[in-house]
């Protein structure tokens, strides 16, 4: 957990006349560029703006555009959270945490995807955040879905978000019962990575369009997957031959380099390996026309390291390495990706209050302990499962007094439920509010109501004025 003290026709109305500030305020310049990309996307896809606006209306999104007073997204979230704390509605309960959800961030991210990976269709990874609102917006913007279970593809199809043939059942190792249900529902595009799965496909999904998932070098990833999934590249030919003998139709190759992979070679080597396997498949008679670039795409900007340089690869940087290879090696092939956090991360901010406090005297001095309304068993499960380092902010930091040694616990009775441990933080008191920006990826998806605590309240906003 990181503790913190602290063109008019295409821009939102709130940015008209703000061009003089752009060079001096990089955050503002980035936001203006994002707005331009959104306008270009809408211009290129007639009807998309109306579909997106319809989703905003469906969820009652309060129009709260970014303004020139918002130095960056964190300050935008601070302003929006403060608005809901000050302007309490009949549902407001000072002891209940809540999420603010900005569905326009999905629009911004879709524009960024289309600009940097033209021709690559995003299949939103539902597991990252199975929010109905996110699913509806991705669908309105022309995206499709990566589903890992019957529950996920049933949710998507039940909302009318695409047809069964538009989904990919991207779990390489599936239960037989779920394979039968997928076959019955018409979900035929699936991934696999081993002989046993091929036998199951031949038996339970004879109409499948199977995609071979290959192992990658994810040694530089924050979250690695190759220990669990992926066929070693040297074994691919043998699996393809077995598929031919079983009568399983192979239509393409997929891979996943892991989340937070900072090695450009991991991406380029995976793309080149996929091309080799396409060629092997062609020799065996397969007409392979699908390349799946997998997930792990960053949904927020890289942080600055101690040396002032970015501490990770940006989305744009990753795409700059991949684009030339796709143009060189995969002409005439349908290319998809499986972004999850890319769409979900920056769409959410969490707000929670301090309900209790105590001071513990130690040989090193006083430790100020506080108890808040969300914790490790719910939204902050990402500290364990996603190796996340979210930014924790005081909503109204005390700037008059020095920072103090602070520990912040979640609401449950487990001492493990701690989200900040002996770190310097602004002074707090009962009734003060905290917020965490960019907190939509792998948070609510894996949260559990342990001890009866959970964050259930949501407020929907729109940072663009459509």
Please name which of 346, 349, 335, 366 lies closest in space to residue 117, comparing C-alpha atoms.
335
Tokens of 37: 């990309």
Distances (CA, A) of 9 to 12, 35, 39, 65, 140: 8, 10, 9, 16, 23
Q: Count H helices, E strands: the chain?
A: 13, 18
Q: Please, are residues 270 and 257 in contact by the beta-carbon 8 Å criterion?
A: yes
CA 443 to chain CA mean position, Å? 10
Rg, the chain, Cα only: 23
Q: Which two tokens stand for residue 36?
A: 């331009």
Rounded to whole angstroms, how far apart are CA atoms 334 and 60? 36
User: Residues 326, 120: contact at Cβ < 8 Å?
Assistant: yes
d(CA 33, CA 226): 36
Active site residue ranges: 413
Q: Closest by alpha carbon to 358, among 392, 406, 398?
A: 406
Q: How far apart are CA 113 and CA 21, in angstroms?
A: 26
Give the number of other CB atoms < 10 A from CB of residue 184.
Answer: 10
Measured between alpha carbons, how far is 250 from 281 in angstroms, rounded to an integer?
A: 8
DSSP state of 196: H
Contact between 37 and 115 (Cβ < 8 Å): yes
């Amino acid at each position: 957990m990181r503790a913190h003290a602290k063109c008019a026709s295409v821009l939102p109305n709130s940015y008209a006349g703000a061009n003089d500030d752009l060079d001096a305020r990089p955050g503002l310049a980035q936001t203006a560029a994002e707005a331009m990309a959104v306008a270009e996307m809408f211009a290129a896809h007639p009807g998309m703006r109306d579909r997106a606006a319809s989703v905003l209306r469906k969820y009652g999104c309060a129009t709260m555009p970014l303004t020139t007073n918002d130095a960056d997204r964190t300050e935008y979230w601070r302003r929006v959270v403060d608005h809901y704390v000050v302007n309490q509605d009949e549902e407001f309960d000072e002891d209940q945490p809540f999420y603010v959800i900005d569905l326009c961030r999905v629009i911004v991210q879709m524009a960024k995807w289309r600009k940097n990976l033209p021709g690559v269709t995003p299949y939103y990874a539902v597991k990252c955040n199975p929010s109905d609102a996110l699913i509806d917006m991705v669908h309105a913007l022309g995206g499709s879905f990566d589903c890992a279970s019957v529950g996920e593809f049933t949710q998507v199809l039940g909302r009318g978000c695409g047809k069964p043939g538009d989904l990919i059942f991207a779990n390489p190792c599936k239960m037989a019962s779920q394979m039968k249900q997928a076959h019955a529902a018409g979900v035929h595009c699936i991934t696999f990575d081993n002989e046993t799965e091929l036998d199951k496909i031949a038996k339970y999904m004879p109409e499948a369009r199977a995609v071979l998932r290959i192992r990658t070098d994810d040694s530089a990833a924050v979250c690695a997957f190759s220990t669990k999934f992926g066929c070693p590249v040297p074994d691919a030919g043998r699996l393809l031959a077995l598929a031919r003998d079983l009568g399983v139709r192979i239509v393409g190759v997929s891979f996943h380099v892991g989340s937070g992979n900072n090695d450009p070679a991991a991406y380029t080597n995976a793309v080149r390996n996929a091309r080799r396997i396409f060629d092997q498949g062609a020799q065996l008679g397969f007409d392979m026309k699908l390349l799946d670039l997998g997930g792990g795409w960053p949904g927020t900007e890289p942080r600055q390291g101690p040396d002032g340089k970015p501490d990770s690869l940006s989305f744009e940087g990753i795409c700059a390495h991949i684009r030339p290879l796709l143009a060189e090696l995969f002409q005439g092939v349908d290319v998809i990706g499986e972004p999850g956090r890319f769409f979900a991360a920056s769409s959410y901010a969490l707000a929670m209050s301090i309900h209790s406090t105590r001071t513990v005297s130690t040989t090193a001095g006083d430790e100020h302990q506080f108890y808040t309304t969300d914790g490790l068993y719910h939204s902050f499960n990402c500290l364990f499962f996603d190796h996340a380092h979210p930014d924790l902010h005081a909503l109204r930091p005390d700037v008059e007094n020095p920072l103090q040694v602070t520990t912040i616990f979640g609401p449950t009775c487990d001492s493990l439920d701690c989200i900040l441990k002996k770190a310097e933080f602004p002074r707090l008191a009962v009734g003060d509010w905290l917020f965490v920006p960019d907190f939509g990826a792998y948070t609510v998806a894996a949260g559990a109501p342990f001890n009866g605590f959970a964050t259930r309240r949501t407020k929907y906003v729109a940072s663009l004025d459509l």
